Amino acid sequence: MERGTLADSAYGRVAKTLHWLVFGLFFAAFPLGIYMHNLKASPEKFELYALHKSIGVTILTLVALRLAWRLFNRPPPLPADTPPLERFAAHGVHWGMYAMLFAIPLAGWAMSSASGFPVQWWGVVTLPDIVGQSRENFELFKELHEIFAFVMLGLILVHVGAALNHHFRRKNSILARMVPFMSIRES
Ligand code: HEM
């Protein structure tokens, strides 16, 4: 692959900002979800649920923006010598994460609708219910919400492992092109 400049082989500023914002929000929402779930009913628990839901809807919005942005700003290609199987795995994990980043908040939203506690986004916007109120729906979407969150965690582990492998073992610029202020060293 030809030596690229930071400008032509890195992700753009918007893509990087959205990537790291979603990363931060996911790792705020995930432990919060586990923590609040184990609390006894209290005003604190209620507030933490509201916070968790607001973060989730923010992730949903940012991921929709990220995909819209990606339509018009194609990501930089993988190095030309990337084996087909690895190319397939990288894209599979990326698209799997996009799918989960939609599925997790949507399942959470459906769970809220089913339980009769509509989602309030940062206390400002009340979202409409997307499924009917019932115990069956609640149980179904609760289960899905949890399963998707753990699938996501697995995908993230693979993704981070691959990024670190590229950086430390292969010594290419795959990591640098997504991390702000890291310089590209691809040859
Ligand atoms: C919540 C955690 C994370 C999520 C949801 C996530 C998601 C994604 C997605 C969907 C892409 C594909 C971007 C595109 O081409 O449209 C991507 C790319 C990338 N991510 Fe992450 N990521 C996460 C955490 C991390 C972490 C912790 C690292 C670094 C250790 C990392 C490093 C990268 C790199 C280097 C790329 C670019 C890969 C390439 O150039 O092909 N990500 N990430």
Taking only the tens place, the pLDDT of each residue in 27-72 is 999 999 999 999 999 999 999 999 999 999 999 999 999 999 999 9
pLDDT in tens, 78-105: 988 899 999 999 999 999 999 999 999 9
**Mean pLDDT of the region 5-11:** 62
Beta strand extents in the chain (DSSP E only):
120-121, 125-126
- DSSP track, 104-118: HHHHHHHHHHHHT--
108 burial type by CB count under 10 A (0-12 exposed, 13-18 middle, 19+ buried): buried
Number of residues that this document lists for the chain: 187
Compute, in angstroms, the gap from residue 34 CA to the centroid of ligand 1.
Answer: 24
The set of residues, in sequence order, having a beta carbon less than 8 Å from that of 60 and lying 6+ positions away, is 101, 102, 105, 106, 109
| Three-state DSSP class for residue 128 | coil
- Which residue has a Cα nearest atom 28 of ligand 1? 160
What is the Å distance from ligand 1's center to 5 Cα?
A: 20
CB 52 within 8 A of CB 33: yes
**Ligand 1 atom 30: the closest Cα is on which residue?**
160
User: 75: number of CA atoms within 13 Å, CB side?
Assistant: 16
> Which residue has its alpha carbon closest to ligand 1 atom 17?
94
3-state secondary structure of 37: helix
pLDDT digits (tens, 9 = 90+) for 113-142: 999 999 999 999 999 999 999 999 999 999
What CATH number should be reported for the domain whose range is 6-170? 1.20.950.20
Cβ proximity of 23 and 96 under 8 Å: no
Q: What's the pTM?
A: 0.92
Closest-CA residue to 102 (of 130, 72, 61): 61
19 C-alpha vs ligand 1 centroid, how far in Å? 7
Where in the chain are the domains? 6-170
- Residue 185 has what pLDDT? 67
Cβ 73 vs Cβ 12: under 8 Å: yes
